[in-house]
A and B are shown apart, each in its own frame.
Chain A
Amino acid sequence: MTRKIVKSKYHFEPDLIETIGEVSIEEIKPWGSNDELKIIGKPTSRIDGAVKVSGEAVYTSDVILPNMVYAKILRSPHPNAQIKNIDTSEAEQLEGVLYILTYKNAPEIGWYYNTSYLFDKQVRYQGDEVACVAAESEKIAEDALHLIKVEYENLPFVTDAVEALKDNSPKVHEWGNLPRGNPDKYKRGDVEKGLKEADLVIEDTFTTQVVVHNTTEPHCSVAKWEGSKLTVWDSTQAIFNVRDSIAASLQIPASSVRVIKKYMGGGFGSKLEAGKYSVIAALISRKIKRPVKIVLDRREENLAVGNRPNSIQTLKAGVKKDGTLTALSHHSIGSIGAYPDGAGCSWPLRTIYKCENVSTEEYSVFTNTGKSRAYRAPGHVQGTFGLESLIDIAAEKIGMDPLEFRLKNYTDKDQVYNIPYTSKKLKDAYEKGANAIGWHRRNKVPGSSNGILKRGIGMATQIWWGGGGPPAYATLKLNRDGSVNVMAGTQDLGTGTYTFIAQVASEVLQLPIEKISITIGDTETCPYCGASGGSTTAASVAPAVRDAAEQMKAKLISGAAAILETSEEKLIYAEGIISVKNDPSKKITIHEIISKMRERVLVTTGARSANPEGYMINTFGAQFAEVEVDTFTGKVRVIKIVAAHDIGRVLNPKTLENQFHGGIIQGLGYALMEERKVDSNTGKVLTANLYSYLIPTIMDTPEIEVIIVSEGDSMISSVGAKGVGEPAIIPTAAAIAHAVYNAIGVRIKSLPITPDKVLNALTLIKR
């Protein structure tokens, strides 16, 4: 197959990545609105549904290998301490204990961009790794943890980002509490000038809390050596990242490491980076020559494997009487925990509305708490709450309908790079969403409805990337019997990856979906695909699968032409049979072609094409919320959410709607209940379980209406799909917050909107 190397750009989360990608020379004509697709875009049941509902699906935490042992990690109980000594002698004597790893005997492996080690003498948050015990059973390992004696020298600590910015604050790292020493800044135009031109300047501060992913399947890993080859079953969103991290940590060739992830119990961003537990399992396994399994418990999940940073955002807008935005500025502070990460959240403000004068300043601050990690639309969820709240206030101040205000400041191009979008259907989303919720029904005067139960309606806008891009590959094997294997080194987090891959192959080759078998999540048998994050999986992988399938079809047609002694143009392909156009009696099956070729399997590899130069690819949307606030108890009930989005082509409406439900309900949790609380006096997390860390239950489920306003975006790829996972959650909390304001007439500027905050707000009105 012929390939060329091209340049391409794409956004993975907020990072604009410039890649050199290998793509097929022959471009595939994108599916258009005239193409009658039979499987793509049709509700298709998840092909991994049956194994999941029957308990047959083996998740990483279910892997049991012969002779396997279990390991448990001892974690620091202190937020900041120096380990003076570790005495493991008593633990070692415990029957069944096999090996204990601490800073004393572990190799010096740099971690967190070399700001720490796999096992460091300095621990910087409650939950930092101190030791690991491998034993014959998980219980023995747990018992042994209690027998390890650690001498700590406690040090001053700081858990609050604002405190940590002060000069006299304890330092999390000796060089200071800002990872790069400075805030991240962005500027276009002249904000001061813009503010002067405004009729009105609005400034306000909004805060959001830290929330934790709490995936149901804990972070876990099983490591097994066979000679010099290591196999790691890992609960990860990025098999190749994990493979390379483990290889680098152990200083062995990447080719010696195989990472497998078949089914996974949720990731939401928390499983994008390799965990210490994976490397620890591999190290201990190498030492004791038995497979080692490490599964984190719920407490560890809440302490040590990531969270969404909090934010304190101060925003300023200059507005003219007619609604024109003349300036926007954003200042934010967020805690990234003890190791480098990012807490910036200004991207929505830089991109959603037309505005020439913009400046942002983001402080990502170290604190002695668990490190943050990407969490479903990192930055955008916080930033959208801040920006959209300010926009709502601005609209109200000049007496304009909030929706009209947004339309007034609509932009058709990306203002950061000053280039047009490949497609943008946000206007349609506004219109269809507003109709579906009944926008006219909202209180014209916020809080004006009578009674104890007050209803309100609000809305908010969503922007995100999610266009995907190269590199992403898929290998397709066609067997004589017309069955197909597709292999792609991607992951299914519950998002429906298995199913859309099968759909694409089935669509192109016109073979029943039951005949298509998918292998993903295996670094050894699958070609490379990127991490499943940034809402890029479908947008990147589906076109690669289509490419592989189209090549296969072309191969079959050439084979048929040779056998039938005719030219390729005279042949038509239908459902695995190739016939001569004017003489349908002359035909040949897949079986006959492959047999004649004396092969058993035909193989093709497809690649994701490059993204178009000079265009920005974004997803857009608007969500509308209707809530009911109980003014006696302060409890907010979300009645309905309408989600109207532009996400390019819908591959599978069934899994797409489900993913939207999930994002929206997680957004509801963020809006109303979720919060990781840290006691600033002790530096300890008060909510390290699912009893005190509240997540939505089935009782919180609102009515949800998903409206997709887009069709395939033929500028992006042959498939035209953009991502869904992150757009779904981005505007939910802001829409709910605005609905609460519309219901009670007092704006709550701090998430989550818990009953106590509502009651407090209501007393303000009464006074």
Chain B
Amino acid sequence: MSEETKSNKFSRRKFVKGIGSSIAGGYILSPAIAKAAKKISKEAKDFSEGKVPLSLKVNESVINVMIEPRTTLAELLRDELKLTGTKVVCNHGECGGCTVLLNNKAVYSCHLLALDAAGKDVTTIEGLSSNGKLHKIQQAFVDEDGLQCGFCTPGQVMAAAALLYKYSKPDKQQIMKEMSGNLCRCAAYPNIIKSVLSAVEKSNG
């Protein structure tokens, strides 16, 4: 990094005050719990720190939050909303570990600015099961042992969920192609294929 960019970064940074408070939770779930007056003053403070408002739906809840523009969707989910089911492996759009659904399509959340999700519907691994019951894809991953360490698994499961939105009856080739953006270092691939196939069978059977 050149000297110039270094000092730019520095001065911009100096302007950004009290970032710590934002980590402690700069978001308000709707319906807002915070008192209105408090909220206004907090937002005024956030604005002065270079933050911008973002509104989106995460797992069917409306989220209104003030964030730094550079925040990625993965950071919003993990650091601000504490939804740590979404994993970050490469943080660089290379592995699919952070896959979530954006309007029911698979995206790499580490490679998407949170602001690009404005007004959209995000589904994370936590939002896939309902009332404590695993989604059929999740159940298939358990039954067919489609995982080892399980660290890539939330991403795999979300990619598979997106696949089922796209095709009603994908064949093995389509499954492999659609899932090829999700790396698994434990290489549980044969069972991942089996898991998705079995979920497809169950939803058609």
Contacts and interface: CB of A to CB of B under 8 A. Distances in A.
B190 A701 contact: yes
Interface in B29-54: none
A265 B84 contact: no
B46 to A, nearest CB: 15
A658 B188 contact: yes
A494 B19 contact: no
A210 to B, nearest CB: 17
Contacts of A90: 10
Tell me what chain B mostly uses at the interface: helix, strand, loop, or mixed: loop
A54 B129 contact: yes
Contacts of A45: 142-143, 145
Contacts of A55: 83-86, 124-126, 154
Interface in B97-151: 97, 124-126, 128-129, 134, 138-139, 141-143, 145, 147-151
Contacts of A213: 185
B19 A217 contact: no
A53 B134 contact: yes
Interface string B168-198: 0000000011011011111111111100000
B187 A662 contact: yes
A669 B187 CA distance: 10
Contacts of B180: 697-699
B157 interface: yes
B17 interface: yes
A687 B188 CA distance: 24
A50 B10 contact: no
A354 interface: no
Given A658-B145, A698-B182, A96 B124 contact: no
A21 to B, nearest CB: 30
B200 interface: no
A137 B23 contact: yes
Contacts of B86: 55
Given A45-B142, A216-B151, A691-B92, A54 B176 contact: no
Interface in A77-134: 90, 93-96
Nearest to A64: B82
Nearest to B127: A55
Chain A interface size band reads 35 or more
B21 to A, nearest CB: 9
B187 A665 contact: yes
Contacts of B124: 55
B63 to A, nearest CB: 17
B23 A494 contact: no
Task: Determine which residue in A54, A138, A266 has the highest number of CB atoms from chain B within 10 A of its CB, and name it.
Answer: A54
Interface string A687-721: 00111000111111100100000000000000000
Contact of A147 (B10, B79, B151): B10
B185 A49 contact: no
B176 A266 contact: no
A217 B94 contact: no
A53 B138 contact: yes
A172 to B, nearest CB: 28
Given A53-B142, A140-B19, A146-B9, A217 B151 contact: yes
A302 to B, nearest CB: 10
Contacts of B183: 216, 690, 695, 697
Given A94-B14, A95-B16, A147-B10, A661 B190 contact: yes
B179 A147 contact: no
B109 to A, nearest CB: 13
Contacts of A665: 187, 189
A77 to B, nearest CB: 11
A93 B129 CA distance: 46
A265 B176 contact: no
Contacts of B185: 213-216, 266, 268, 666, 695
Task: Determine which residue in A62, A136, A265, A266 has the highest number of CB atoms from chain B within 10 A of its CB, and name it.
Answer: A265
Interface in B69-106: 70, 78-79, 82-92, 94-95, 97
A234 B94 CA distance: 25
B19 A698 contact: no
B152 A216 contact: yes
Nearest to A266: B149
Contacts of A143: 9, 13
Given A46-B142, A147-B10, A494-B186, A217 B149 contact: yes
Contacts of A139: 19, 68, 70
B20 interface: yes
Interface string A592-625: 0000000000000000000000000000000000
B19 A689 contact: no
Given A136-B19, A265-B151, 19 more contacts: A45-B142, A50-B142, A52-B147, A52-B150, A52-B153, A64-B84, A96-B20, A216-B97, A216-B186, A217-B89, A494-B151, A658-B145, A661-B187, A661-B189, A661-B190, A661-B191, A665-B189, A666-B187, A698-B193
13 contacts: A50-B134, A61-B87, A95-B18, A95-B19, A213-B185, A216-B151, A216-B184, A298-B90, A493-B149, A661-B191, A690-B92, A697-B189, A698-B180
